Chains A and B, each alone.
Chain A
């Protein structure tokens, strides 16, 4: 029974659309822009969110990753390194400073700042005072000014394993560190883009001086990645660094206050509760303050979603206004069509069609129009995105591999259906109210 009504509605609705192609097309034009606006806003918001998330993930780590920041004192680096050795579900990053270039010179970007700000600061080298948490202060004597020369300062990050499952670094050129092969005497390093820029710009000699190392080393540059950091950084295998640093140097209080010295970051896969407990137990056992050993779960998406929500709502509101204009168009055409088809509708009722089905037919026509328009708008949105990515994708690395988000498709279909219902409801009600006797009086 329902099938007969539905089929009748679809058959007659299809006939109505075919019989009024131009009118259908014109009502589709205004609706198309509205649905396209909804699709574009939804797709834009999804892509922006993904792009922002990807950028945040580069620094903070992927959502769900468990991270820990551990002070590099009381043998903590050695404990962490020994605990994580050979594990694929956890990686430690030990950060330090290094200078690449001619030895004994003042680096161009002293302090490891981005090169854009190099040589912009003053030359003040007066006494500086640092105080610890207990209020004990000490004065740092001004360092002897070194002569300027061809050297750059970088943050050096030594890794116990492949960090990319936790931080999705984007390859720029060359390769990533190979953790499967035997350690090399000449440490293999991967630069971030800022470090690569420094090397390219200042053409420094390939000699590296690492804080706490016994000798200068000659690194092998194997690749460049985008890591999301504005400061120059280099990545290398911790075991290759160990060749030059027999024991991880514990940072002094002063180094820590300066932000220098050895810092430790640990990245663990979700659900690694046992490993967390093990690390905590070992570190506390070694005398590290319990309060300083803390792990937290990366939850960037939720935080960003709340930030993006308001912006998305504003844009969606604007898109729905455009959609309403489309609805007004389809409503206008629908009312005009009903007025034109009064005799047809009266006749259909005379031959046995119920009011409900007649209203259903009018609604089916606008719904079919809405859905067809939605399909076109979604297709146009997907094609537009593809073209934009082809033309401008290289300028935005975070958009690499972006596909048309399914959420935008769903939003488009919903917008088409809503527009179809809103635009067809009043004409449908009017059609259902046409008296059959109209055909007798015609």
Chain B
């Protein structure tokens, strides 16, 4: 008898020894120092830390907003450490969904149009009908399809954040990167938003949540704390 083959799936995200130094007018300051992190599909990770500990910087490196000074970054096992900007933009569109503390909804657009913004980004083109269908599915996923035609000014904070989450989900990303998504919300609404985000992991999506809130962090699969540019 032969032993059943074990399929080893490559991690969704793998960071090895990531270092980031902030070079400004003052003396260079090391924000991240040799950070290692692995995120698997369907896994949720909370990153805790004090202000200035490098949480958001780490998230911006994972989301390809910025480049690390040292270390390696693998996505699905592929080294994307030195990816050119054009390809990075394509990856941001295809692989990542972003949720921020401030919702960044465009006030002149409706909720549906704000969600569609992630589809009209020059990375391919789908018909208006298909876009509408994708947008409505994303809004339904976060439970606010009935508010599709509302403009941000008419929505509550929680509803606005859910629109922002729908915008992050509309392209069916592999990873959601959320930077203090409950920071501007009350506890109850914040819990609701965290639930919505956790739901995405049940469909195989990875979640990296940067937060100050220990209650929300405890709901995640793993909790990491950044201190002085390193995970404790």
Chain A interface residues (CB < 8 Å from chain B): 1, 3-5, 7-9, 11-12, 15, 18-19, 343-344, 347-357, 435-437, 439-442
Q: Are B85 and A352 in contact (CB under 8 A)?
A: no
Number of A-B contacts defined by CB within 8 Å: 91
Known A-B contacts: A351-B92, A355-B89. Give 8 more (CB < 8 A).
A15-B109, A18-B108, A19-B108, A343-B104, A354-B122, A357-B122, A442-B100, A442-B104
Contact B117 A351, beta carbon cutoff 8 Å: yes
B94 at the A/B interface (Cβ < 8 Å)?
Answer: yes
Query: Which segment, of B4-12, B40-48, B60-68, B73-81, faces chain A?
Result: B60-68
Contacts of B122 in A (CB 8 A): 4-5, 8-9, 352-354, 357
Closest to A358 in B: B122
The yes or no answer to B90 lying at the interface (CB within 8 A) is yes
Complex Cα gap A344–B102 (Å): 12
- B89 pairs with A441, CB closer than 8 A: no
Checking A9, A11, A352, A440 against B123 with a beta-carbon cut-off of 8 angstroms, the contacting residue is: A352
- Asked if B93 and A352 make an inter-chain contact with CB atoms under 8 angstroms apart, the answer reads yes
- Do A352 and B125 touch (CB < 8 A)? no
Asked whether, in the complex, the Cβ of B100 is within 8 Å of the Cβ of A352, the reply is no
- Distance, CA A439 to CA B164, complexed state (A): 13
Which residue of B63, B94, B117, B179 contacts A348 across the interface (Cβ within 8 Å)?
B117
Q: From B107, which residue of chain A is reached at the shortest CB distance?
A: A19
Whole-angstrom CA separation of A441 from B59 in the bound complex? 12
CB neighbours (8 Å) of B108 from chain A are 15, 18-19
Say yes or no: A4 contacts B98, CB within 8 Å.
no
Across the interface, name the chain A residue whose C-beta is closest to B113: A15
A436-B60 in contact (CB<8A): yes
Chain A residue numbers with a CB within 8 Å of B59 are 440
CA distance A5 to B93 in the complex (A): 14
- 18 CB-based A-B contacts, threshold 8 Å: A8-B121, A8-B122, A15-B109, A19-B108, A344-B106, A349-B89, A351-B167, A353-B122, A354-B85, A354-B90, A435-B65, A436-B65, A437-B66, A439-B98, A439-B104, A440-B60, A440-B100, A440-B179
**Contact B120–A352 (Cβ < 8 Å):** no
* Cα–Cα, bound, A163→B12 (Å): 89
Would A440 and B65 be within 8 Å (CB), given that A4-B124, A350-B92, A351-B93 are in contact?
yes
Chain B positions within 8 Å of A439 at CB level = 98, 100, 102, 104
